[in-house]
Amino acid sequence: MAGKRFRKAIETVDRSKAYSVDEAVKLVKSNAKAKFDETIEIAMNLGVDPRHSDQMVRGVVNLPNGSGKSLKVGVFAKGAKAEEAKAAGADVVGAEDLAERVQKGEIPFDRCIATPDMMGVVGRLGKVLGPRGLMPNPKLGSVTMDVSKAVKEAKGGQVEYRAEKAGIVHAGVGKASFSEKALVENIKAFAEAVSRSRPSGTKGTFVKKVSISSTIGPGVKIDIPSLLH
């Protein structure tokens, strides 16, 4: 049944065409017919080789309409900062006790924030958190004294991105139940944030190809000038 639906959806997409962002969203939304609320995903092919440290693309973006996904946020903090994190809605807050859980392979969060004084403890978890992209990073705002702001932003639809081996960045930018306008705004905000994070070491075209899809729908190519202007 899903295969039949996918084949039908593919017929609605002209694979050789790059659609305007508005047309692409309309098409992807109309093909998202699963019984669950499908995630709308963006994939951006960038002209970088992330194996070179001066071509690494990584950052965070606050989606104007949220991501539609509820993230579990873990905070490494002590004392007043731990209380502040709890008050802001953090799911797990701890110090050495939380580090022990992580060392054992129990990772009860999707996003990790730490106060600077906790980085000695968190640093020892690099082998566990690093490969999962969960290591707190001052550049991404996840090593901070303002834990309240960091927790609220992570909960409010902040999306992290990083270029993978082939120079591709992908992320969820909303749900099929979002309005077309909300999805277009989120997609543009995400694409512009990635575009602004162009590393100094890159030459030639930075954003080569952009497409969006729903969880089980076909990809739809987006005309880059309609996205980045």
Q: What's the pLDDT tens digit per position in 125-170?
A: 999 999 888 999 998 899 999 999 999 999 888 898 999 888 999 9
Average pLDDT, the chain: 92
Q: Which residue has the tokens 């959806």?
A: 9
| CA dihedral angle for residue 116, residue 117, residue 121, residue 125, rounded to 10 degrees | 0
Residue closest to 155 by CA, chosen among 185, 108, 194, 111: 111
8 confidence band (pLDDT: 50, 70, 90): confident
Q: Write the DSSP assignment of 76-127 as a string of letters.
A: E--HHHHHHHHHHT-SEEESHHHHHHHHTT----SEEEE-GGGHHHHHTTHH
Quick one: angle between helices 79-88 and 147-155, nearest 10? 30
CATH H-level, domain 17-67+158-227: superfamily: Ribosomal protein L1/L10, rRNA-binding domain (3.30.190.20)
User: Which amino acid, 17?
Assistant: K
Give the separation between CA 129 and CA 105, rounded to whole angstroms. Answer: 10
For the cut 60, the answer to whether the pLDDT of residue 35 exceeds it is: yes
For the cut 80, the answer to whether the pLDDT of residue 75 exceeds it is: yes
In the CATH scheme, what architecture does the domain 73-155 have?
Answer: 3-Layer(aba) Sandwich (3.40)
1 confidence band (pLDDT: 50, 70, 90): low
Domain ranges of the chain: 17-67+158-227, 73-155
Confidence at residue 14, expressed as pLDDT on a 0 to 100 scale: 85
Per residue in 77-134, pLDDT tens? 999 999 999 999 999 999 999 999 999 999 999 999 999 999 999 999 999 999 888 9
Going by their DSSP bridges, the two strands 58-62 and 39-46 should be labelled as unpaired
pTM to 2 decimal places: 0.82
